[in-house]
Amino acid sequence: MKQNEKTTRILSVILLILSAALMLGVKLVFHACGAKEDGSWMTCHWAENAVCASGAVMTVISVIALCLKGRARAGAAFSLVPAAVVTALLPQVCIRMCMMNDMRCHAMMRPAVILLCAVIGVLAAVTGVMANREEG
Amino acid sequence: MRRLAVQNLTGKPVRTAVLTVLAALLALAVFGGSLIVTSLRTGLHSLEDRLGADIMVVPYEATTKTNLEAIVLQGATGYFYMDNARAEKVLAREGIGQASEQFFLASASTGCCSLSVQIIGFDPQTDFSITPWIRRSFGGELQKYDVVVGNDLNAFVGDTLQFYGTEVHVAAKLAKTGTAYDTAVFTGEDTIKALIASSVERGMNQFTVDPDKVVSCILINAADGYTPEEVVNDINIHVKKVKAIQTKEMISGISDSLSGVRDVIGVLMAAVWVLGLAILLLAFTMSVNERRKEFAVLRVIGASRGMLAGLVLREALLTGVCGGMLGGVIGLAVIVPFNRAIEEQLGLPFLLPGAGTVIGYFAAAVILTALAGAAAAGIAALRISRMDTGLILRGDN
């Protein structure tokens, strides 16, 4: 059981890193398209903001999962699964993005968000299942 | 023995992880490299198909003032026009089989985005290059203000788009080509003339032309008995202020770049494989040396030399398969979703092959990696089969 707890703690740290990477990365690394010439924003900018906000929520949940043990950790980890699914759907499905698929929001932001959310979702589910077996 | 191989691997997680990562690297190199090279080749073939004409005739200014290749092949938005009189002179030349006029117009930024879209107008009565391609996605006739959008445009059948204040309806969306045409909008002659007129009325373009009296380019197929070279030379010599270009010449630059990229990827793949195989060989040899006593004990309790060699080979195969699958999955996760970013970086037509081909490459990468691991372990297995159990157990080397 001790080994199991150690593993779920490591997984929780990885989840925290990935959630923080999502929150910061969408603003700094795989951000959406820039502003138009007139200074106004394209719709993908709002998708970027929504993903950043969602990433912040997932980061907080990951911190909670790291601080808790057993079934409480499992609950926090499981709650990350729907959060990751919804976040992956934010660009394009919930908030429609730019006109051309070769624009940065389609070419970089959306695939990076989907990839990170998929990894977070799978790891959160594994963490939840393993933490559920812990005592306490 | 089968369970023992798995237990050996799980019992030494760090060693197993290192070997698996090495195998993953080999698989990633072969899978990623092959997929990128194939996608580039598919993109080039797709571009050749889409150009669909032997010869393109453009106004001479197009070859000097604007980057013709960037507009026609790489999706840069732009336009150029020649008057109908010049077009008629071209069409009057000998050796012309099929001919169709096209109109180019770069939209002002569309409602949602800061980037403009290339609009290509064609005459449905004479067109032979775009219509066959559109037919695959759209069976009907394009009405006035109907457009067909490229696959990479975020617009769908039934949507309404606005160009220069004129609303157009999306009648069809084309299949992906991996070329500049994926971000273009195609429409009939009537619609593009209305859009050109609208842009001129609104003063949103830097030209003032009468859309009824100009064309952007003429696509030509040589008639039977004439070669494209003969027709190109004839037009260039006898018709002033136009430039006839063989489309094959236009894509020769891309073909050269593709060949360069393919060579670089080939060298990188070879380097990764040589390095990876050397490290795998070293890792398995060191691992077998470390485990000499373990193998000697197995021999004492009745395992034959063949069984020990089989054990090492089985461990290598398991590591190779797991690592190969890991490398393949990483390759898929990077190349498939980020294919547009890769295309953008390479600046070449990039079209992912079909799912069957991708699965085939994936399977080939896994098998090749597993076999490479087994080959590296085979040398180590040969050493085990020759070792003297008595000497090892006594502690002598």
Which chain A residues contact residue B117 at CB under 8 A? 99-100
Determine the pLDDT at residue B315: 86
Q: Token pair 């790891």 is at which residue?
A: A123
Confidence of residue B310 (pLDDT cuts 50, 70, 90): confident
The answer to whether residue B84 scores a pLDDT higher than 80 is yes
Adjacency order of strands within the sheet including B160-163: B160-163, B166-173, B146-149, B184-188, B118-122, B96-106, B217-222, B55-59, B242-246
Does residue B58 fall inside a structural domain?
no
Does residue B62 fall inside a structural domain?
no
Determine the pLDDT at residue A29: 94
CB distance B63 to B189 below 8 Å: no
Test A99 with B112 for CB contact under 8 angstroms: yes
CB distance B267 to B279 below 8 Å: no
Which of B193, B217, B247 is the last residue in one of the domains?
Answer: B247
Whether B159 and B266 map to the same domain: the answer is no
Q: Pseudo-torsion of CA B236, B237, B240, B243, nearest 10°?
A: 10
Distance (Å, rounded) from C-alpha A34 to C-alpha A97?
A: 12
Whether B200 and B299 map to the same domain: the answer is no
Instruction: Provide the domain limits for residue B215.
Output: 74-247
Which chain A residues contact residue B110 at CB under 8 A? 99
CB distance B205 to B197 below 8 Å: no
Test A36 with B182 for CB contact under 8 angstroms: no
Which chain A residues contact residue B147 at CB under 8 A? none
Instruction: Locate A81 and state its tokens.
Output: 């699964």
Determine the pLDDT at residue B70: 65
Confidence of residue B199 (pLDDT cuts 50, 70, 90): confident
CB distance B232 to B322 below 8 Å: no
User: At CA B163, angle to CA B158 and CA B166, rounded to 5?
Assistant: 80
Does residue B268 fall inside a structural domain?
yes
* B382: CB partners within 8 A, 6+ apart: B309
Whether B149 and B287 map to the same domain: the answer is no
Does residue B60 fall inside a structural domain?
no
Does residue B177 fall inside a structural domain?
yes
Of the two residues A19 and B137, the one the predictor is more confident about is: A19
Whether B104 and B171 map to the same domain: the answer is yes
The answer to whether residue B109 scores a pLDDT higher than 60 is no
Please give the span between the terminal C-alpha atoms of chain A, in angstroms, as a whole number: 11
Test B340 with A42 for CB contact under 8 angstroms: no
Q: pLDDT tens digits for A63-84?
A: 999 999 889 999 999 999 999 9
Of the two residues B323 and B154, the one the predictor is more confident about is: B323
Side chain identity, residue B118: Q
Nearest chain B residue (CA) to A115: B333
**pTM listed for this prediction:** 0.73
Whether B268 and B327 map to the same domain: the answer is yes
Whether B89 and B19 map to the same domain: the answer is no
Determine the pLDDT at residue B381: 76
Test B341 with A108 for CB contact under 8 angstroms: yes
Test A102 with B183 for CB contact under 8 angstroms: yes
Determine the pLDDT at residue A43: 85
Tell me the pLDDT of chain B averaged across its residues. Answer: 82
Does residue B178 fall inside a structural domain?
yes
Burial of A33 (0-12, 13-18, 19+ CB in 10 A): buried
Whether B263 and B348 map to the same domain: the answer is yes
The answer to whether residue B359 scores a pLDDT higher than 80 is yes
Please state, for a pLDDT cut of 70, what percent of chain B lies above it: 89
Which chain A residues contact residue B176 at CB under 8 A? none
Instruction: Locate A127 and state its tokens.
Output: 């963490």
Test B344 with A98 for CB contact under 8 angstroms: no
Distance (Å, rounded) from C-alpha A71 to C-alpha A73?
A: 5
Distance (Å, rounded) from C-alpha A29 to C-alpha A14?
A: 19
* Helix (H/G/I), strand (E/B), else coil: B73: coil
* Per-residue H/E/C for A13-44: HHHHHHHHHHHHHHHHCCCCCCCCCCCCCCHH
